[in-house]
Chain A
Amino acid sequence: DTEVTQTPKHLVMGMTNKKSLKCEQHMGHRAMYWYKQKAKKPPELMFVYSYEKLSINESVPSRFSPECPNSSLLNLHLHALQPEDSALYLCASSIRTANNEQFFGPGTRLTVL
């Protein structure tokens, strides 16, 4: 299995909703990443997990809450989002953070109403 999967593919939520994005990989990678990508822009790093521990938080607002329950799974919990948070959320993984050959999932397209 050489892919990163993300669910759901599309998500529409209101500003008062609580939802979660899920990312999974079974390549034995020990680094996992969340990125946010707005239209016609490059991906922006949000969080990095290394060996299930949060190693980088790029000053992301607390309404985004990451979780890494095990080495294969990465979640992003969403609460009280704003319309400007609408974007494509990409998950990636790599063997280690130092390796940096990151493999990306297909993304979740999030719309906040």
Chain B
Amino acid sequence: AQKVTQAQTEISVVEKEDVTLDCVYETRDTTYYLFWYKQPPSGELVFLIRRNSFDEQNEISGRYSWNFQKSTSSFNFTITASQVVDSAVYFCALSPINAGGTSYGKLTFGQGTILTVHP
């Protein structure tokens, strides 16, 4: 069984603050993918990043950065100098690699973190 926990239900910050969204996961699979998706008020889920479990290198993309720590089963997401347009629901998700059978194609999502950035 797999589980993704996003303990922060809602976060509220003021523009230009840095904010970190936490994600902790549980899985028995030795290889897996981790994802972050953004869902703005319009409803569309926007893919942000995919990491392989065997690649623990942290990644930075503009104001976004991700910290993957396999030892603590965490995949945290930091937005630097937040902007109003960052306001959205953010989902962390997990999927097994090479699971075969009915596990193929299954994303396990966390409950999501609602981020509100105030001007």
A residues sitting closer than 8 Å to B (CB atoms) are 31, 33, 40-43, 45, 48, 50, 55-56, 88, 90, 92, 94, 97-98, 100-107, 109
Whether A101 pairs with B47 at a CB distance below 8 angstroms is yes
- CB nearest neighbor in B for A97: B105
Chain A residues positioned under 8 Å from B45 (CB to CB): 43, 90, 92, 104
- CB nearest neighbor in B for A101: B50
Bound complex: CA A105 to CA B47 (Å): 11
Interface of B: prevailing SS? loop
Pick 27 A–B contacts, CB within 8 A, sort by A.
Answer: A31-B105, A33-B105, A41-B111, A42-B91, A42-B111, A43-B45, A55-B104, A56-B105, A56-B106, A88-B43, A90-B43, A94-B105, A97-B104, A97-B105, A98-B98, A98-B104, A101-B35, A101-B50, A102-B107, A103-B47, A104-B37, A104-B45, A104-B47, A105-B44, A106-B43, A106-B44, A107-B43
B residues sitting closer than 8 Å to A (CB atoms) are 33, 35, 37, 42-47, 50, 91, 95, 97-98, 102, 104-107, 109-112
Give min CB distance, B4 to chain A, whole Å. 9
Chain A residues positioned under 8 Å from B102 (CB to CB): 56
Chain A residues positioned under 8 Å from B33 (CB to CB): 100
Whether A42 pairs with B95 at a CB distance below 8 angstroms is no
Chain A residues positioned under 8 Å from B110 (CB to CB): 42
Give min CB distance, A95 to chain B, whole Å. 11
